[in-house]
């Protein structure tokens, strides 16, 4: 485990467990959900983990790309889909770290989870009451490959939590957790206690605010799509900056425009990068 701290902000990381953030606190107040009492067994239990080389789902764990069918691993049983890429299930190597900065890398060789080689770097830096994350991947295959990036932070949902952001569209989701259609949306400004949502919003302004009686958290990103996930029964609110809409790579295979959906097509040696910043302050 690696600990970063600046002022009151404390971040704990588990590079060997998917390069995840096991927790983030402002003093003794958790910003992200803390690890379970017995410790983390998976990055999916963590406060935040990277999404690479795609976010959300690829339908039925099958990628069809440039005329070739690639079966993928169903990596979130009992779901039949491939979910959130491979980075969250692989160990990351620490390249450099001190009390305020960590740099990690992951090199992917083609396997049954993802058929294209890439390398990826992740940097986390704390300053004041902010943490800045940078994620970058480079296509190391000899052919063009689809690519996507994002993060999956789980913020603590306390009494009187409210989430607010602006967007232009929302992708509706079917019972199979795959998108069905896009509708116009102005985003959300809603109390989280009764909010039941698991949708991708596009045309995102790049800023979302989660505020309660204890903290005001501002999430900002260079990405322009965001997935929001919470239910009345859950004690978390996921605010996930992502580069493409849910199941985008399958939709591209069905004839949709990659650029409209946010799918990047990286030529050999090309790089895709993104940033996310979490700013935290005590509620006034």
pLDDT score, position 253: 81
pLDDT score, position 77: 85
φ and ψ at residue 88, rounded to 5 degrees: -75, -10
As a whole number of angstroms, the distance between CA 74 and CA 62 comes to 9
C-beta of residue 177 within 8 angstroms of C-beta of residue 57: yes
As a whole number of angstroms, the distance between CA 263 and CA 252 comes to 8
Closest C-alpha among 87, 207, 94 to residue 135: 87
> 131 Cβ partners below 8 Å, 6+ apart?
4, 9, 11, 24, 124, 125, 277, 278
As a whole number of angstroms, the distance between CA 2 and CA 14 comes to 7
pLDDT score, position 243: 98
C-beta of residue 28 within 8 angstroms of C-beta of residue 96: no
Closest C-alpha among 158, 169, 177, 151 to residue 238: 151
Q: Is the pTM of this model over 0.75?
A: yes
As a whole number of angstroms, the distance between CA 121 and CA 38 comes to 29
Q: Per the structure block, which two tokens stand in for 62?
A: 């099958």
As a whole number of angstroms, the distance between CA 18 and CA 106 comes to 9
pLDDT, one tens digit for every residue, the chain (284 residues): 999 999 899 999 999 999 999 999 999 999 999 999 989 999 999 999 999 999 999 999 999 998 899 999 999 888 999 999 999 999 999 999 999 999 999 999 999 999 999 999 999 999 999 999 999 999 999 999 999 999 999 999 999 999 999 999 999 999 999 999 999 999 999 999 999 999 999 999 999 999 999 999 999 999 999 999 999 999 999 999 999 999 999 998 888 899 999 999 999 999 999 999 999 999 97
pLDDT score, position 185: 97
pLDDT score, position 88: 97
pLDDT score, position 74: 94
Closest C-alpha among 232, 236, 254 to residue 245: 254
As a whole number of angstroms, the distance between CA 106 and CA 94 comes to 9
**Do you know the residue count of the chain?**
284
B/e letters for 134-143, b = 16+ CB within 10 Å, e = fewer, are bbbbbbbbee
Per the structure, the count of domains in the chain is 1
As a whole number of angstroms, the distance between CA 283 and CA 158 comes to 13
Beta bridge partners of 198: 229
pLDDT score, position 220: 98
pLDDT score, position 9: 97
Per the structure, the complete domain to which residue 271 belongs is given by: 2-282
C-beta of residue 215 within 8 angstroms of C-beta of residue 155: no
Question: Which DSSP letter does residue 85 get?
Answer: B
Residue 261 sits in a domain of what CATH number? 2.70.98.10
Tracing tokens 């067994």 back to the chain, one arrives at 41
Residue 74: CB atoms within 10 Å: 15
């Amino acid at each position: 485990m690696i600990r970063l701290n600046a002022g009151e902000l404390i971040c704990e990381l588990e590079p060997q467990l998917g390069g995840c953030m096991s927790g983030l606190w402002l003093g003794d107040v958790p910003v992200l959900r803390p690890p379970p009492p017995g410790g983390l067994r998976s990055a999916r239990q963590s406060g935040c983990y990277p999404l690479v080389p795609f976010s959300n789902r690829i339908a039925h764990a099958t990628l069809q790309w440039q005329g070739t069918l690639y079966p993928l691993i169903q990596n979130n049983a009992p779901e039949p889909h491939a979910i959130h890429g491979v980075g969250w299930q692989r160990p990351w190597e620490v390249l450099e770290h001190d009390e305020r900065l960590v740099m990690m890398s992951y090199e992917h060789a083609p396997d049954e989870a993802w058929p294209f080689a890439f390398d990826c770097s992740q940097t986390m830096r704390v300053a004041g009451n902010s943490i800045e994350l940078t994620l970058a991947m480079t296509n190391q295959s000899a052919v063009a490959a689809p690519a996507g990036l994002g993060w999956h932070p789980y913020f603590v949902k306390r009494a009187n939590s409210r989430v607010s952001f602006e967007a232009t569209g929302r992708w509706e989701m079917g019972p199979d957790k795959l998108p069905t259609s896009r509708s116009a949306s102005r985003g959300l400004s809603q109390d989280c206690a009764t909010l039941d949502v698991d949708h991708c919003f596009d045309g995102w302004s790049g800023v979302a605010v989660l505020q309660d009686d204890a903290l005001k958290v501002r999430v900002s990103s260079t990405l322009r799509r965001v997935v929001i996930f919470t239910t009345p029964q859950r004690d978390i609110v996921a605010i996930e900056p992502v580069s493409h809409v849910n199941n985008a790579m399958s939709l591209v295979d069905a004839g949709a425009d990659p650029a409209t959906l946010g799918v990047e097509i990286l030529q050999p040696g090309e790089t895709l990068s993104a940033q996310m910043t979490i700013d935290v302050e005590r509620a006034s």
